[in-house]
Amino acid sequence: MKICDETVRAAVDSGLSSVRMDAAQKQAILAQCRPTVAVAPPARRLGPMRRALALAAAFALVLCLGGGVLAAAPELQQKLAVLGEETLQMLQPINQVSEDEGIRMEVLAAMSDGQVAAVYIGLQDTTGQGRIGPDADLYTPQVTSTMFTSGETVDYDETTGTAILRLTANASQQLAGKKITVGATSITSGLS
């Protein structure tokens, strides 16, 4: 699955769309699918007006916090500007750096929708030998607690020689709110 403004927008829209069913409708649907399953009635019901106000307040909070993250990390906004404003507002800045043999790897930001995580990484050759190019890739990228990780280059800055990569990882368990580790056995660049 490619993460872009459209797929993120679709995921948010589907998550926020409100489906309203009363208990009898839920029971009828579940009875057709799995006759032994029953749904308990909700303990507390919010009226449509209170639900709309709660949703609006939550949305406003997300917008305020997302804008605060970008204001606090203008370099992140500059590095990942190619992703678009909507995607940038959902990212959490990480700014962890590791350097080995003159290759600097910086975990810029990450986001997770539960079982899929997207991690944005910056790669740069600090020795000036040009070992990182626009086709840079991580060989066997790894994200802890995931089954499958793929990577792709989303941007390359020729002036600094920095490649921005997006790692997409699928997990069998919830990733949201958990600490994960990102790694790779080697970096490839300039291969034909």
Q: CB burial class (10 A; 0-12, 13-18, 19+) of residue 48?
A: exposed
pLDDT, averaged across the chain: 69
The number of distinct structural domains making up the chain is 1
Specify which of 19-33, 75-89, 144-158, 173-187 reaches the highest per-range mean pLDDT: 144-158
Which has the closest alpha carbon to 77: 101, 109, 106? Answer: 109
Tell me the pairing of strands 162-170 and 148-157: antiparallel
Q: Give the pLDDT of residue 63.
A: 44
Q: Give the pLDDT of residue 16.
A: 52
Q: Does 146 fall in a domain? A: yes
Q: Does 168 fall in a domain? A: yes
Q: Does 56 fall in a domain? A: no
Specify the range with the lowest mean pLDDT, choosing from 58-62, 123-127, 152-156: 58-62
Q: Does 78 fall in a domain? A: no
Residue 64 has pLDDT above 70, yes or no: no
Q: List the end-to-end C-alpha distance of the chain, in Å, as a whole number.
A: 25
Q: Does 69 fall in a domain? A: no
pLDDT tens digits along 70-113: 444 455 555 555 556 665 555 666 677 888 888 888 888 777 77
State mean pLDDT over 123-133: 87
Q: What is the pLDDT confidence band of residue 182, given thresholds at 50, 70 and 90?
A: confident
Q: Does 3 fall in a domain? A: no
* Continuous segment of H or E residues that includes residue 1: none
Q: Does 183 fall in a domain? A: yes
CATH assignment of the domain containing 156: 2.60.40.1630
Per the CB < 8 A criterion, the answer to whether 175 and 117 are in contact is yes
DSSP SS3 for 44: coil
Q: Which residue has the tokens 């970008």?
A: 70
Domain with 151 in it: 91-188
User: What's the rounded Cα separation, in Å, for the pair 114 and 171?
Assistant: 9
Q: Does 38 fall in a domain? A: no
Per the CB < 8 A criterion, the answer to whether 66 and 93 are in contact is no
